[in-house]
Amino acid sequence: DAKTTQPPSMDCAEGRAANLPCNHSTISGNEYVYWYRQIHSQGPQYIIHGLKNNETNEMASLIITEDRKSSTLILPHATLRDTAVYYCIVRPFGSGNTGKLIFGQGTTLQVKP
C-alpha cells in the first residue's frame, strides 16, 4: 500500500506556480521522497527526489519539511503540458530493498489557460 496521501485533484492557472502537497507522516529514515507524473496514460516520468534537503532541477523544486512528514512539489511556471497525474512516492534504499515504486492514486493537476 502507498504510504502517502495526496489531494485527488488541483487546478492551476497557466504561468502560475503549481504547489502539490504530499503527506508521508510514517516515512522512515531510510526512505526517499520521489515524484513522478503520468501525462494522459503515457509512461510515468521521473521528476525529482530528495531525502531531507530541498532539491531543485530543471523541472521542479521539492520542499521537504524538517520533520520529513510532508513535502511539496513546485512547478514554478505551469504550462498546459504540465496537466497530468502527479504521484508522490516514498521509496526505501539500502540493502534488502528492491527499489520498486509503489504508486498511490496521485493528484490530477489541471492547468487552465
Q: Which residues make up the interface to another protein (CB under 8 A)?
A: 32, 34, 38, 41-46, 49, 87, 91-106
Q: Up-side HSE of residue 54: CA atoms within 13 Å toward CB?
A: 9
Quote the least distance from Cβ 14 to another protein, whole Å.
26
Quote the least distance from Cβ 60 to another protein, whole Å.
13
Measured in residues, the chain has a length of: 113
Looking at the Cβ atoms of 18 and 35, the one nearer to another protein is 35
Q: What are the grid coordinates assigned to 14, written together?
A: 497557466
Looking at the Cβ atoms of 14 and 32, the one nearer to another protein is 32
Quote the least distance from Cβ 39 to another protein, whole Å.
11
Q: For 86-106, give one letter per residue: b (16+ CB within 10 A) or e.
A: bbbbbbbeeeeeeeeeeebeb
